[in-house]
Amino acid sequence: MRVLVTGANGYLGGAVVKQLRVSGHEVIGLVRGARAPGEGPVRTADLLDPEALTAAVRDIDVVCHLAGLTRVRESVADPLRYFAVNVGGTVALLRAMAAAQVGGLVFASTASIYGTPDRQPMSEELPDRPPHPYAASKAAAESVIAAQAATGQLAAVVLRLFNIAGGADPDPTRIVPRVLAVAAGDDPYLAINGDGTAVRDYVHIDDAATAFAAAVAHLPDSGACRRYNIGSGTGTNINELVAEAARLTGRRVAVEHGPAAPEPPRLVSDSRLARRELHWQTTSSDIATILRDGWAART
């Protein structure tokens, strides 16, 4: 199939482009600027430019929609921008797809939409309780996609991603790059909120990319929108992450504990539905592999 990947020059987008090509698809990257996601054809368009979007989706079978804004704190400071891009951009993309009769969509969403559920591990049956504008904007985009699918013009899969990590992660604010930066001597210490016992679910970037290829291969019938959690199903706390990084690198990882932050104590995925219906499974999402690949990408 001819698959268009929005946000193709991003951290996850580049991995998805590569995996889709490995899976035998003809992949076209959609980017805002001139920088190309590796080799292969690229089209240029802004999500808020309807005319450019209409041209970009021409002759496409499926769109993997990864473009958008993703920083939580930034969304709190500038919520209108997040809704304009993440929701308005998705609306514009769906309009362009409808005009070009593109009938398949795979959407990159976030597990943060669930908020802080009491039930662990977290399944797709949990109610939505987005705790910040970023999560709310992604939840709203999901609602738009489901509504468009209900018209019968679209078959859609929504992937709610947990904490993507590993490889050449360019975001220095995420925990794995921060830990490795201390191990490398680039930062003097790792600042930790509280006692370091907060548990998160980390999924390797390559495993996340294979989920998109699996979703493209298992799109539902037109008129349906399916949602799946994409995570490892294993929880790792900050202290364990630091200890494993020190063991793998042979370097000391200094930490400095600050006051506890109002954050969920444990967030771990139940991804059995994706395993059952998409035939997807993780192969590299143990924390040792994630850290080893991240460390190799730095050296």
Q: Is 40 left (phi over 0), alpha (psi -120 to 50) or beta?
A: left
Which entry of 11, 82, 114, 134 is annotated as an active-site residue?
134
Encoded amino acid at 208, one letter: A
Closest C-alpha among 117, 112, 253 to residue 190 = 253
Alpha carbon 160 to its chain's center: 7
Closest C-alpha among 15, 2, 227 to residue 107 = 227
Q: Cα separation of 137 and 142, whole Å?
A: 9
Residue 134: active-site member: yes
Q: Cα separation of 96 and 99, whole Å?
A: 5
Q: How, if at all, do strands 199-204 and 235-237 pair?
A: antiparallel
Which active-site residues does the annotation give? 134
